[in-house]
Structure 1
Amino acid sequence: SDCVKNTEHSTIIIDGHSFMHATRSNYLNPQTHTDDYPASYYVATANEDTQRNYPSLTEAVEADVCVVGGGFSGVNTALELADRGYKVVLLEGRRIGWGASGRNGGQLIRGVGHGLDPFRKALGQEGIDAVTQMGYESVDIIRQRVARFNIQCDLKWGYCDLALRPRHLKDLDADYEDLKATGYAHKFERIGKDRMHEVVGSDRYIGGLVDYGAGHLHPLNLITGEAAAAAELGVQIFENSLVTEVQYGDRVRVRTAQGEVRADRLVLCGNAYVAGLNDALADKVLPAGSYVIATEPLTEAQAKQVLPQDMAVCDLNVALDYYRLSADRRLLFGGLCNYSGRDPASIEAALKPHMNKVFPYLKHLRIDYQWGGMIGIGANRFPQIGRLQPNVYYAQAYSGHGLNVTHLSGRLIAESIHQESKRLDIFEKVKHITFPGGPKFRSPILALGMLYHRLRDVI
């Protein structure tokens, strides 16, 4: 099970092929998970021209590729394949961007999420160099996509990692040297405590690494804009079409309550919501809660004081804070990564004290929106992109770095299907372990492990 739904399933054999049948789902987090979009600042400010209602699947259709999942991974895989001339059907159980893709912090950051040194043995130096460059490319994919399809998603450039402790400064120094050594194409600079107020109006931080090639945006408007672009390229998109059965074979059959897709290839992009769809994938990704609050609009003077250059920022704690300004000058403040599977009773009550510590002069501000959702965590924090079998692909477990890496995964899968590159092979060299503890104890065990790292931050 994941942290959102408790799903019972059974494995059925038909003509020598097995598929999984989801028999029961019940919501564990009703405050943040509804059948339609849960209330958020993003939903309240969604673009009307791309906020389409796609039909449900009610018939049998044929496709070259069936993509399951209407988040960034699925939509961008479909878009990349349509660009290459494939007939693609995309199935989404609820709405396009319903999960993390439409709720995240909107921070567009270079890289694949975490340091690559632990994977040196699996990848070799050549592989590490390739993944590093792909991490830079992932941001450029979004830059190019927004320009090509004229997607209005409040894209702004400028991002800063924030140091709170001396060991964070060492990490920033190492990152700075890596950016120089790997030929990062965009402007970046390392700043000390004396310049921190150029970036953020708080006294908490002792240094930072500014990256003008990263930035922030409105994620729901990006995903719905990309879905609209995919539809214009010929992708058949079906919403409210939860997959109930998958039959694997030389051709796959993907069934929903009222329809079926028969395709040569299948791409599974369920990420934090993959439970009940494929056991092998569900066992390797753990859904974890993450939350955001949005204040009332700041005055122009307040906004200039809080984030003088309108950058997105993130601190380097394990239990990190991340925040930015919206287009209408609200402070969007996120954090509280939660592995327990249960939402706080009040997201505002849990998260606003963190905001008040950073900006005590904003304590009086009203909170207009509060929301959360599930991100997919892998045990080794390396994106899981690959193949279950020759004609079945998957992408998941971005561990909080999904905005850009989802776009990269879509490109790598499309390149593999089209046989134009073997870059996907690099990611498949990293083996992903199953979380210990089984479905019932997986979350508590990881929560205890993360508590240890949080205590290290405090100490």
Structure 2
Amino acid sequence: MTLARPAGQPHAPSWYAASVPEVSLRPALRGDTQADVCVLGAGYTGLSAALSLAERGYRVTVLEAQRVGWGASGRNGGQAIVGFGCEVDTLERLVGKFNARALFDYSREGMALLRRRLQHYQIACDWRDGHASVPINGRQERELRRGMQRLVEHYDYPLQWWDRTQLRGQLDSPRYRGAMFDVASGHLHPLAYAQGLARAAESLGVVIHEASPVQQLLREPRPQLRTADGSVRADHVVIAGNALLAGIAPELESRIMPVGTYIGATPVLGEERARRLIRNDMAVADVSWALDYFKLSADHRLLFGGRASYSALPPPGLRGVMTRRMHHVFPQLRDVGLEQVWGGFVDITRNRAPHWGRLTPNVYFAQGFSGHGVAATGLAGEVIAAAIAGQNERLDAFARIPHRRFPGGPLLRTPLLVAAMSWYKLRDVLW
């Protein structure tokens, strides 16, 4: 699936883009240059890798086709959650209990890294503590409670179960049966976070070229990334294009599926009305396959996300569908619509586990965050930077996760995935 676009486009219209200061376009790459490490992509993964490498003293160049945080990093729901896109029992089936525990503990390190960086580099991105996973029906509640018990007892991860009454004390919605509350997770302003990572990296000497889409990766002993107007030859290359690689590494693209996801912002509700919706300012997500997720903004809007698209086009009647879903969660907002709706692509793997590793001994990659990338991308960048510096243990642990291609090839994999997702959506309704 090719998502090629003209280079250097402005950010998609969104509340996120409208609520941060405008940043001038960084110069595109012109001519041939060299670096210790060249990174493809200035989203969370690429910027985190660049920052971790610069902290170790490497000369780093980042090539970005559009703008810093232009893709999922600047458009997502902003929910930073410990763990990965798959549950720990999936990790256990893939790599065994011992390795699954190590991977989960690494994810906790990723959350701690995110918090340290926000403080150390003074990244102002409206961080708030707390995330609640909420079930809608009895089956979801049973599965969520079993999963929580497993994390508490076997992974030593502290979580709280809130019954319906306790949840209603914090979340004014009749829809949910309870909540698994995680105080260590939280939420932020995604585009402000991406821009803060870029400023932190540049303060350590990282060079970021925007409007510089990579056209070719040369897998040579000293690899090279080429654009239309220049090239960067480096000792190491990091591929962090995720859902927007567009032909650079076909063996990576075949193992992820770009999936559109969407979010909207209400008009300003006012502090009192907004706080009545979510009193403790946590982020919330239900546990359906076609999930809803939501939080409050710093200026007292409700940011409400959901829906999914497995093609390059948004679902028909998107604003109306999302508004109805929001009203189903919060009937008291029947008089409120969505002022803006926007979306973007996340990259999912077949097993929803992270796909990180090496293409060659000096070409690294991280992809497949499956909707859980806000915290995990920082970990990915740090893990790859450590491997480039000679500390391979953690990257090797992720590289042991097996990943299969999506069936059907470029033409049929999207219809096959739509059929599979339709079954899971039906199951959420019937059970």
Who is 2:169 aligned against? 198
Secondary structure in 1 aligned to 2:145?
A: helix
Q: Secondary structure at the match of 2:199?
A: helix
Map 1:337-356 → 2, pairs under 5 A: 337-356=308-327
Please give the TM-score of this superposition, normalised by the length of structure 1: 0.90
Moved more, 62-71 or 339-348: 339-348
Q: Tell me how far 1:370 sits from its aligned partner.
A: 1.0
- Per-residue deviation at 1:284? 0.8
Whether 1:424 aligns to 2:395 is yes
- Mapped to 2, the partners of 1:125 and 1:202 lie a distance apart of 37
Report the equivalent of 1:92. Answer: 64
Q: Post-superposition shift, 1:113?
A: 2.1
Does structure 1 residue 395 correspond to structure 2 residue 403? no
Secondary structure at 1:234 match in 2: coil
Q: 1:211 Cα deviation (Å)?
A: 1.1
> Which residue does the alignment assign to 1:145?
117
- TM-score computed with the length of structure 2 as normaliser: 0.96
Q: Give 1:76's aligned residue.
A: 48
CA contact under 8 A between 1:111 and 1:138: conserved in structure 2? no
The Cα shift of 1:363 comes to 1.7
Mapped pair 1:39 → 2:17: no
Which of 157, 162, 183 is equivalent to 2:134? 162
Distance 2:311 2:422 in 1: 11
Does 449-458 or 364-373 show the bigger shift? 364-373
Kept after mapping to 2: 8 A contact 1:340/1:447: no
Give secondary structure in 1 for the equivalent of 2:215. Answer: strand
Residue 108 of structure 1: how far off its partner (Å):
1.0
Which protein is richer in strand relative to its size? Answer: 1
- The 2-side partners of 1:182 and 1:329 are apart by 39
Residues 367 and 379 of structure 1: CA distance in aligned 2, closer, same or farther (over 3 Å):
same
Corresponding residue of 2:38: 66
Structure 1 residue 194: Cα displacement: 1.9
Range with greater deviation from structure 2 (174-183 or 64-73): 174-183
Structure-1 separation of matches of 2:26 and 2:311: 34
User: What corresponds to 1:120 in structure 2?
Assistant: 92
Aligned twin of 1:452: 423
Residues 40 and 79 of structure 1: CA distance in aligned 2, closer, same or farther (over 3 Å): same
Q: Is the 8 A contact 2:270 2:301 kept in 1?
A: no
* Structure 1: tracts of 5 or more residues without a match: 6-24, 28-32
Deviation beyond 6 Å, 4+ runs, structure 1: none
1:358 alignment partner in structure 2: 329
SS of the residue aligned with 1:241? Answer: coil
What is the match of residue 209 of structure 1?
180
Deviation at 1:340, TM superposition (A): 3.1
Q: What is the identity, as a one-letter code, of the residue corresponding to 2:15?
A: Y
Q: Corresponding residue for 1:257?
A: 228
What SS does the aligned partner of 1:112 have?
A: coil
How far apart, CA to CA, are the structure 1 residues paired with 2:143 and 2:104?
A: 17
Shift of 1:57: 0.3
Worse-superposed segment, 389-398 or 417-426: 417-426
CA RMSD of aligned residues (A): 1.7
In the alignment, residue 20 of structure 2 is paired with which amino acid?
A
How much has 1:366 moved relative to structure 2? 3.7
Matched with 2:144 is: 172
The answer as to 2:123 corresponding to 1:129 is no
2:359 touches 2:365 (CA, 8 Å); kept in 1? Answer: yes
Preserved contact between residue 8 and residue 66 of structure 2 (Cα < 8 Å): no
Which residue does the alignment assign to 1:288?
259
CA shift, 1:177, in A, is 2.1
Pairing partner for 2:411 from 440, 444, 450 = 440
For 2:133, the aligned partner's letter is: D
CA–CA separation in structure 1 for the residues paired with 2:316 and 2:10? 21
- Going from structure 1 to structure 2, the CA distance change for 1:150 and 1:182 (only over 3 Å counts) comes to farther
d(CA) in 2 for partners of 1:120 and 1:188? 20
For 2:302 and 2:290, the matched residues in 1 are separated by 19
Question: Would you say the 8 A contact 1:266–1:393 is kept in 2?
Answer: yes
Deviation of 1:368 after TM superposition, in Å, equals: 1.9
Q: CA deviation at 1:112?
A: 1.3
- Say if 2:61 and 2:206, in contact at 8 Å, map to a contact too: yes
Report the Cα offset of residue 233 of structure 1.
Answer: 0.5
- Among the aligned pairs, what percent are the same residue? 39
Using the TM superposition, give the Cα deviation of residue 275 of structure 1 relative to its aligned residue in structure 2, in angstroms: 2.3
Do 2:152 and 2:159's aligned partners in 1 also have CA atoms closer than 8 Å? Answer: no
Distance 2:229 2:321 in 1: 41
